[in-house]
Structure 1
């Protein structure tokens, strides 16, 4: 591909310019609340990080995938400082591990800047060609994009059910399933741009949202993010749309509070107290139980659910606990975790069936000195890739390592684009990468491995499958 089309409208900095007033307004509001409360202005660094994330990635030259992925990681780092500011408390007052919470928060802010700048450095020369994408969109048959998405969704679901039966290909099967969202992007774009089959598109989105609750982890948020990213790629955001997005954010935030309030009872029901992360009841039974629970939820449960959701989203507490333990009790690993992540990819399970499974909770327990229930007990808690780099290299050199890791991520993205069939495919194949990039809690060994596997799968898909699907999707002249 000679050019890479990332965003389908002109003006490389217009998106960022439209967001800037809202970032400034949020910053001023937090400063006022901080002045009225603890007067520590602890949320100010998070506003600076948000500014640079938007400056680098909220542009019409980049897919909104990067902006939303980094913005969610920013939320995981910043939600407790912001919550503390609005409730006029100090960050230590709302922290589970307060001793190093400020240091872990500030270091996490720097970590996001280092990683983001690395990615931005690799992608900043990408250009856009809006006329070419419009021409390509008009060549698509909307009905065929819907059919292709539905067929691939069924295929991905069946294949996903076989992932444990073919352990050597587990990651590859999961990565191939992510291609579903590339086809979702085609369907979403074509239906709205050509104003055809919109009702069916909305039904599919609603089905994806509702069916997401039938899984153990209730993966309803994935479709929400995919719709948001696709919407931002299709429409220029003006003030009216921005306020609409804020309302949608509040609504889904409320849904998140409700889910947090009932999820533990729900998970016990769908697993029938098996102590495993499995679903042993039908989708109908699971959804019926969930509806009954939601209907009986109390105001007290909602209040507890809101605070629990803050704790669930935030991921600086575990890092704070880690900083209290490393290097005071355990020394820094001097690159061991990074080496293990690389070796885990170089020796796949297909060639080493005895390779140990990754248990995030055991990793967290080892490097915090605090016991956490593990996968054998039906739960999992992760430390996160930033803390892994800290364990390996300490507070300064971890930032250098994160910058180079960002360069590596950017190189993968650029490589996938360059193997894409055309500009639109280059943009669409980016959508699944959101699932790999948006979690601050990703363990380094999983983060690195999943990126490599998706890189391989996406490249093979672009080379051998993409052209066949593309030919099918075209209108018959």
Structure 2
């Protein structure tokens, strides 16, 4: 928490305001600055950083409350949550006009017992894909959909990486854009699977039919 409180100003001191990951001061000056920043911290600074810390771990709290209520209050869904996540993504609204509106808050309220505001109030609170997996299969079985998601991500990586018509730097750039959503622990399973699938299809198409030809043209003109 102390590091969180000082790291913004301290990093700015190290890079002299360039916002780059460089150290532009001497080691002694860097250590002296740490002591100075820690010595100047106030109780109000710790109160502020506590709020930031709690904000970062709030979705772990959602998972914990879900584990408190399932299966003691609500039963495990035995795969229904992930089935709904995947089927929702694979059912285009053009062909399924009766498809419901996606509201992550409804599921969050049901399994945590909280009463968060939802779509009508312009907000959304998700459980996260770990909680989705736990609700379906419990403590041990929850690793099955997580393993499945990992294999899906590996498949996406391999397909893009094997597009040998693209420069390897371009391939890694596309992989980074497509897989960046996996970094969010709090992402709802439906949202995570949907974004991964949509971005993969879009950037696979761009890579195959646009980027490859653009790269060839650039090579010829350079």
Q: Same fold (TM over 0.5)?
A: yes
Residue 303 of structure 1 and its aligned partner are, at CA, apart by 4.3
The 5-angstrom pairing of residues 260-279 of structure 1 reads none
Structure 1 residue 340 corresponds to structure 2 residue 91: no
Distance 2:186 2:164 in 1: 30
Please name the residue that 2:116 is paired with: 372
Residue 304 of structure 1 and its aligned partner are, at CA, apart by 3.9
Distance 2:45 2:219 in 1: 49
Aligned match of 1:444 in 175, 189, 208?
189
Structure 1 residue 313 corresponds to structure 2 residue 66: no
Residue 387 of structure 1 and its aligned partner are, at CA, apart by 0.5
Distance 2:101 2:219 in 1: 44
Contact 1:421/1:466 (8 A) holds in 2: no
Q: Residues 332 and 420 of structure 1: is their aligned pair in 2 closer, same or farther, counting only changes over 3 Å?
A: farther
Contact 1:420/1:462 (8 A) holds in 2: no
Gap regions ≥5 residues in structure 1: 1-82, 84-205, 207-223, 229-238, 248-298
TM-score (norm 2): 0.75
Please name the residue that 1:397 is paired with: 141
Residue 317 of structure 1 and its aligned partner are, at CA, apart by 0.6
Gap regions ≥5 residues in structure 2: 2-17, 31-41
Distance 1:473 1:375 in 2: 46
Contact 2:81/2:132 (8 A) holds in 1: yes
Q: Residues 313 and 476 of structure 1: is their aligned pair in 2 closer, same or farther, counting only changes over 3 Å?
A: same
Structure 1 residue 427 corresponds to structure 2 residue 172: yes
TM-score (norm 1): 0.37
Contact 1:341/1:445 (8 A) holds in 2: yes
Structure with the bigger RCO (C-alpha within 8 Å, sep 6+) is 1
Distance 1:306 1:330 in 2: 35
Please name the residue that 2:35 is paired with: none
Residue 350 of structure 1 and its aligned partner are, at CA, apart by 2.7
Structure 1 residue 356 corresponds to structure 2 residue 133: no
Residue 325 of structure 1 and its aligned partner are, at CA, apart by 0.8
What secondary structure sits across from 1:381 in the alignment? Answer: coil
What secondary structure sits across from 2:201 in the alignment? Answer: helix
Distance 1:434 1:467 in 2: 20
Measured on the aligned residues, the alpha-carbon RMSD in Å equals 3.0
Aligned match of 1:383 in 116, 127, 138?
127
The 5-angstrom pairing of residues 7-86 of structure 1 reads none
Cα deviations across residues 247-305 of structure 1 (Å, max 9, x unaligned)?
A: 9xxxxxxxxxxxxxxxxxxxxxxxxxxxxxxxxxxxxxxxxxxxxxxxxxxx7775443
> How many residues get paired?
190
Please name the residue that 1:413 is paired with: 157
Contact 1:389/1:401 (8 A) holds in 2: yes
What secondary structure sits across from 1:470 in the alignment? Answer: helix
Structure 1 residue 458 corresponds to structure 2 residue 210: no
Residue 346 of structure 1 and its aligned partner are, at CA, apart by 2.0
Contact 1:419/1:459 (8 A) holds in 2: no
Contact 2:153/2:179 (8 A) holds in 1: no
Distance 1:333 1:436 in 2: 25
Distance 2:61 2:90 in 1: 32
Q: Residues 461 and 341 of structure 1: is their aligned pair in 2 closer, same or farther, counting only changes over 3 Å?
A: same
Distance 2:164 2:199 in 1: 14
Please name the residue that 1:268 is paired with: none
Please name the residue that 1:278 is paired with: none
Distance 1:406 1:397 in 2: 15
Q: Residues 462 and 320 of structure 1: is their aligned pair in 2 closer, same or farther, counting only changes over 3 Å?
A: same
